[in-house]
Amino acid sequence: MSTLIKNATIFDNSSQYHLQKKDILIIDGQIHKIAETIKTEDHFKVIELDNLHVSCGWFDSSVSLGEPGYEERENLENGLLVAAKSGFTKVAVNPNTNPIVDSKSDVEYLKSKSFNTATSLYPIGALTQQSKGIELAELYDMQKSGAIAFGDYNLPIENDNLMKVALLYAQNFDGLVLSFPKNNKIAGVGIANEGINSTKLGLKGIPALAEHIQIVRDLFLLEYTGGKLHIPTITTTKSVEIIKEAKKKGLQVTCSVAVHHLALTDDELHGFDSRFKTNPPLRSEKDRKALIKGVKSGIIDCITSDHNPIDIENKKVEFSQAEDGVIGLESAFGILNNLLELEEFIPLLTNKPKTVFGLVDNVIEEGNKADITLFNPKIESKFTQEHILSTSNNSPFINKKTKGEVYGVFANNQLILK
5: Cα separation from own chain's centroid: 27
Domain regions of the chain by residue span: 2-53+365-385+403-417, 54-356
> What was the pLDDT predicted at 42?
87
- pLDDT tens digits, 306-330: 999 999 999 999 999 999 999 999 9
Contacts of 190 (CB under 8 A, 6+ apart): 198, 203, 204, 205, 206, 207, 210, 281
Mean pLDDT, rounded, for 287-295: 98
For 47-100, the DSSP string reads E--TT-EEEEPEEEEEE---TTT-TTT--HHHHHHHHHHTTEEEEEEPS-SSS-
Q: Decide if 60 is catalytic.
A: no
| Active-site residue identified among 60, 152, 306, 361 | 306
pTM given for the model: 0.97
Q: Indicate if the pLDDT at residue 255 is higher than 90.
A: yes
Mean pLDDT, rounded, for 410-415: 98
The CATH code of domain 54-356 reads 3.20.20.140
Q: What distance, in Å, lies between the first and last C-alpha atoms of the chain?
A: 20
Contacts of 91 (CB under 8 A, 6+ apart): 59, 60, 63, 80, 83, 119, 120, 121, 122
306 closest CA partner among 365, 358, 264: 264
Topology of domain 2-53+365-385+403-417 in CATH is Urease, subunit C; domain 1 (2.30.40)
- pLDDT tens digits, 217-236: 999 999 999 999 999 999 99
Mean pLDDT over each residue of the chain, to the nearest integer = 97
Q: How confident is the model at residue 282 (pLDDT cuts 50, 70, 90)?
A: very high
Sheet order of strands, 302-304 included: 58-63, 88-93, 120-125, 149-150, 176-178, 228-231, 253-258, 302-304
Q: Looking at the DSSP assignment, which residues form a beta bridge with residue 382? A: 401
Mean pLDDT, rounded, for 62-85: 97
- pLDDT tens digits, 25-61: 999 999 999 999 999 998 999 999 999 999 999 999 9
> What was the pLDDT predicted at 1?
81
> What was the pLDDT predicted at 341?
97
Q: How confident is the model at residue 339 (pLDDT cuts 50, 70, 90)?
A: very high
> What was the pLDDT predicted at 258?
98
213 closest CA partner among 250, 190, 192, 184: 184
Mean pLDDT, rounded, for 330-352: 97
Q: Is 158 exposed, middle or buried (0-12, 13-18, 19+ CB in 10 A)?
A: middle
Mean pLDDT, rounded, for 105-112: 97
